[in-house]
Amino acid sequence: MLRTAIRATDDGFQADALPLVRSLAPSRRAASLPDDFGALSALTDCDLHGCEYLTSLPDCISNLAMLTRLDANYCTNLNSVPECIGSLTVLVTLDLSQCFSLTSLPDSIGGLAALTALDLTLTTLDLGSCTVLYNFPSSIGSLAALAKLDLGNCDTLSSLPESVGGLTALTWLNLSGLRRLPNSIGQLVSLATLNMTRCRTLKSLPDSIGALVSLTHLRLSSCKRLTSLPDTIGALQSLRVLDLRACEALTALPDSIGNLAALAELNLRSCRRLPELPDSLGELAPLTSLDLTACSELESVPDTFGKLVLLTKIHTDGCQECLTHAASALQQRNLA
């Protein structure tokens, strides 16, 4: 019977099992991988999740020519990834999330984009909560098939290289905590979700963001220093959800926001310095949900508010004046 899975021990593997092993789950107490790790020629799935004492991956990992999934999630002491990882040409998923000691990635990571004709290129890269990761290689732009990139809570990562614009297959991007967006962000033509919550030092967005033709969800909540949005935001014709909760420095919305032809949900909760809404708000025909809770500087809504015929959810707690105006506008709409 074919042996498809094995658990490593401190003494290594049974010699006769090496060519047969397809799935590996070492002891969570392992401080290193056995010397014969690289001899697992049939290995497709390597589960290192929670190996908290593991500090590095051996160079012999490059011998695992069949490896499609490498899960190193919560390897909290893993401080480096070997340069030779770029030779894993059929790797589909690489999970390095919660590797709190990881400070950088090798340039060779860009080599994980080979064999696209076999649809076996890297599609998921998870680095969430790598809190000391400060360097991201420019070779990332070579991952032409990458669909999901999670860099959430990588608090020491200040920016991304401009080469990130080469990720034309990317559909989901989590950059929560990042300090600055590269101008090349607009080249991500397949991007549907961009999460930039808690980017506390982010002051502005590049104009190129308006080129994200596939973007449906833009989340910017708790970007405490964000003062404005670029006029180009109005070019996001696919955008359905715009979340600006707790953007406490936001003082205005651009008139171009009225051009968001697909926008269904606008969340402005706790935008405490926002004094007014643009007249163009009334052009948001698909809008069904608007949250103005705790917008304490907001005294009224524009007269065009009554044109929002699909609006069914409006929250105005802590914004009594705008509640009165909104109710009046909606009443006139209903009478009409």
The answer to whether 33 touches 6, Cβ cutoff 8 Å, is no
Q: What one-character DSSP code corresponds to residue 202?
A: -
Please tell me which residue, 32 or 120, carries the higher pLDDT value: 32
pLDDT band at residue 143 using 50, 70 and 90 as cut-offs: confident
Position 41 scores a pLDDT of: 86
User: 19 pLDDT band (50/70/90 cuts)?
Assistant: low
Asked if residue 177 and residue 152 are part of one domain, the reply reads no
Which pLDDT score is estimated for 196? 95
What average pLDDT score do residues 74-103 get?
A: 87
pLDDT of residue 109: 80
Maximum CA pair distance of the chain? Answer: 82
Task: Judge whether residue 268 has pLDDT over 80.
Answer: yes
Could you tell me the pLDDT band of residue 305, with boundaries at 50, 70 and 90?
confident
In a shared domain, residues 177 and 324: yes
Give the model's pLDDT for residue 3. Answer: 40
Choose one of 111, 126, 157: the last residue of a domain. Answer: 157
* CA pair distance 267, 295, nearest whole angstrom: 11
pTM of the model: 0.80
Q: Judge whether 113 and 122 are in contact, CB under 8 Å.
A: yes
Show which of 157, 180, 213 is a domain's final residue: 157
Instruction: Show the CA angle centred on residue 5, arms to residues 4 and 8, nearest 5°.
Output: 140
CA 22 – CA 26 distance, rounded (Å) = 13
pLDDT beyond 70 at 280: yes
What single-letter DSSP state applies at residue 327? H
User: How many domains does the structure of the chain reveal?
Assistant: 2
Q: What is the pLDDT of residue 26?
A: 80
Look at residue 13 and tell me if it is in a domain: yes
Write the DSSP string, 145-176: T--EEE-TT-TT-----GGGGG-TT--EEE-T
The contacts of residue 88 (CB under 8 Å, 6+ apart) are 61, 62, 64, 65, 67, 70, 112
CATH number at residue 231: 3.80.10.10
125-129, 134-138, 184-188: least confidently modelled range: 125-129
Report the alpha-carbon distance of residue 96 to residue 60 in Å, rounded: 19
The residue among 71, 31, 70 whose CA lies nearest residue 52 is 31
Residue 321: per-residue pLDDT: 66
* Burial (0-12, 13-18, 19+ Cβ within 10 Å), 101: middle
Residues 38 and 179 in one domain: no
Average pLDDT over the chain reads 84
The least confident of 150-154, 279-283, 329-333 is 329-333
Answer with the one of 122, 157, 192 that is the final residue of a domain: 157
- Region 95-102 average pLDDT: 84
In a domain, 247, yes or no: yes
* Inside any domain, residue 257: yes
Which residues fall within 8 angstroms of residue 129, CB to CB, at 6 or more apart? 97, 98, 100, 152, 153, 154
% of residues, the chain, pLDDT over 90: 47
- What burial class does residue 162 get, using C-beta atoms within 10 Å of its C-beta: 0-12 exposed, 13-18 middle, 19+ buried? middle
CA distance 250 to 228: 6
Least Cα distance to 104 among 59, 61, 154, 33 occurs for: 154
> Which two three-digit tokens encode residue 210?
């308006």
Chain segment 215-254, per-residue pLDDT in tens = 999 999 999 999 999 999 999 999 999 999 999 999 999 9
- Does residue 163 lie in a domain region? no
Backbone angles phi, psi at 106, to 5 degrees: -75, 150
**Residue with more model confidence, 252 or 25:** 252
Q: Within this chain, do residues 222 and 97 fall inside the same structural domain, yes or no?
A: no
pLDDT digits (tens, 9 = 90+) for 57-66: 999 999 999 9
Query: For residue 139, what pLDDT band results from cuts at 50, 70 and 90?
Result: confident
Give the pLDDT of residue 113. Answer: 54
Structural domain including 278 reads 170-336
Tell me which of 11 and 124 has the higher pLDDT.
Answer: 124
Taking the CA of residue 230 as centre, how many other CA atoms within 13 Å lie in the half-sphere pointing to its CB? 15
Q: Find where tokens 């094995």 sit.
A: 6
Query: Which has more pLDDT, 202 or 119?
Result: 202
